[in-house]
Amino acid sequence: MAFCLAENVGATVTGVEYSGSLVTLARHRSEMKSLTDKVTFMEKDMRKLDFEPQSFDAILFWGSLVHVNAEDYLPMFRKAYDWLKPGGRLVMQGLIKSESDGTVTQEFKDYITRMCYKPITYSECLQFLSSSGLQLLEFKHRRDFYVQDSADTLDKVKKNWHKIITNVSKETLEKTVSIWEEKRRWAEDGALYICLLLAQRPLQEE
């Protein structure tokens, strides 16, 4: 996403990632794409970030908030408010869990623990957002996309089984297939879905 923003809209991007190996990979890609002047990466826990107020036109939480605890959402939204310029946009893409009690089975709990997911519900998300002072502009449920994306990825993994076994291992292939089968099942069930949220820091303080 960092490269996409730099390449397509000319944005200057600061990417933040917890995992050192992913940061190394991202920096390598940045060099390969000759984008080191436009895209920089920090290896950091986003909950411990500190930027000057009003430093950014836009902030993206791209698939990352599902890994933090529910109590971290409001502080992260408040920080985003603070770091955004007035009128600046927050974009969040992430996993949201269904409001329905039916999905809170032990099997579902085991799955999200294994995946290190800590999803909150749509209404919790909106509550945290409005408490932070950010204004919701748009919220899209992308359940169908999640179902399709899980099915497509599973197809791709299955089609490339020979390459994966040769280049990685049979165990990795089996584990990957089982993860994506489970993902697809929970997506079809509606227990988890991808949402796309767009919010803004109001132009004028209330």
The bridge status of strand 135-142 relative to strand 39-43 is unpaired
CB of 64 to ligand SAM, least distance (A): 4
CB of 176 to ligand SAM, least distance (A): 15
Residues in CB range of 41: below 8 A, 6 or more apart: 2, 14, 15, 16, 17, 23, 26, 27, 30
CB of 87 to ligand SAM, least distance (A): 24
Helix 70-83 to helix 122-132 angle (10° resolution) is 40
- Nearest CB to ligand SAM, comparing residues 43 and 202: 43
Chain residues binding ligand SAM by CB under 6 A are: 1, 16-19, 22, 45-47, 62-64, 67-68
- Nearest CB to ligand SAM, comparing residues 66 and 129: 66
- Nearest CB to ligand SAM, comparing residues 26 and 147: 26
Indicate the residue whose CB is closest to ligand SAM.
63
194 to each of 5, 30, 68, 87, 122, how far by Cα in Å?
Answer: 20, 27, 16, 25, 11
46, 96 in Cβ contact below 8 A?
A: no
The bridge status of strand 56-62 relative to strand 84-97 is parallel
- Nearest CB to ligand SAM, comparing residues 157 and 165: 157
CB of 61 to ligand SAM, least distance (A): 8
